[in-house]
């Protein structure tokens, strides 16, 4: 007998050669969600117990919005979804350095994001500077992308990079053999990706 309860039930479907088919999980069950409550149910209904009101919608939109992807033989829940979050532009400087080797570093990547650094520029205003080294630091180690010997005082050194930074990783530039009160600058750019689990 049909229940008198009223509400919405969302059943993911896809269209195969013009026929609407329910999306089933690995156990052959239909994942059903009650509207507004977020409760997932296993449903076994006789066709005489229900009336379906259909709304025409692209099946891919509904399925993809729930994190499903087609693997060539079946629709399956995807483990991780990536989404563009924002551009990344950062500038750091030290306008009165100590003597010796000084490091400028960018902000560490926060949890839930991956940053893709596509370029950076370093410049040192120092007559004594004899080297600058560009790279990034991650949980795995330190990685160098470029090394300039005897850089020219005040010259911009642009570096095209393709760093993919995870949580806690950051970009750095080491400036070697500085004199006290030298000025150094680091510009970085790229984009941020948001990770949804």
The string of DSSP codes covering 91-109 is EEEESSPPSEEEEEE-PPP
13, 61: one domain? yes
32, 70: one domain? yes
Domain count, the chain: 2
61, 114: one domain? no
**Is 2 part of a structural domain of the chain?**
no
**Is 66 part of a structural domain of the chain?**
yes
Rounded to whole angstroms, what are the CA distances from 168 to 41, 87, 134, 141? 39, 18, 17, 12
pLDDT of residue 47: 46
22, 109: one domain? no
Rg of the chain on CA atoms, in Å: 28
33, 100: one domain? no
32, 55: one domain? yes
191, 145: one domain? yes
Range of the domain at 43: 9-78
Domain stops at, among 63, 78, 93: 78
- In the chain, DSSP assigns E strands to 9-10, 13-16, 19-22, 32-34, 40-41, 68-70, 75-77, 81-94, 100-105, 113-125, 131-137, 142-149, 157-165, 170-178, 183-196
CATH number (domain holding residue 125): 2.60.120.230
Instruction: Judge whether 172 and 184 are in contact, CB under 8 Å.
Output: no
pLDDT of residue 82: 75
88, 175: one domain? yes
Domain stops at, among 78, 97, 119: 78
**Is 3 part of a structural domain of the chain?**
no
Average pLDDT over residues 27-44: 56
Domain stops at, among 28, 47, 78: 78
pLDDT tens per residue across span 79-125: 666 788 999 999 999 999 999 999 999 999 999 999 999 999 999 99
pLDDT of residue 10: 63
Q: Dihedral through CA 177, CA 180, CA 183, CA 184, nearest 10? A: 40
Bridge partners (DSSP) of residue 88 are 190
Contacts of 51 by beta carbon, 8 Å cutoff, 6+ apart: none
191, 115: one domain? yes
pLDDT tens per residue across span 48-83: 454 555 554 455 555 555 666 666 777 777 666 678
Residue 172's pLDDT band, with cuts at 50, 70 and 90, is very high
């Amino acid at each position: 007998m049909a229940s008198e309860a009223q509400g919405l039930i969302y059943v993911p479907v896809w269209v195969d050669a013009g026929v609407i088919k329910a999306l089933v999980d690995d156990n052959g069950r239909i994942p059903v969600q009650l509207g507004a409550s977020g409760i997932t149910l296993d449903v076994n209904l006789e066709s005489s117990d229900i009336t379906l009101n259909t709304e025409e919608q692209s099946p891919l939109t509904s399925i993809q919005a729930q994190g499903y992807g087609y693997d060539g033989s079946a629709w399956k829940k995807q483990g991780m979804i990536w989404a563009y979050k924002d551009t990344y532009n950062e500038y750091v400087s030290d306008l009165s350095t100590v003597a010796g080797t000084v490091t400028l570093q960018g902000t560490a990547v926060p949890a839930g994001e991956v940053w893709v650094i596509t370029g950076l520029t370093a410049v040192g205003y120092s007559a004594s500077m004899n080297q600058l080294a560009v790279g990034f630091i991650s949980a795995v180690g330190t990685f160098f992308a470029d090394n300039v010997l005897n850089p020219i005082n005040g010259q911009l050194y642009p570096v095209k990079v393709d760093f993919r930074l995870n949580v806690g990783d950051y970009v750095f530039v080491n400036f070697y053999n500085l004199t006290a009160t030298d000025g150094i600058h680091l510009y970085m750019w790229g984009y941020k990706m948001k990770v949804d689990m």
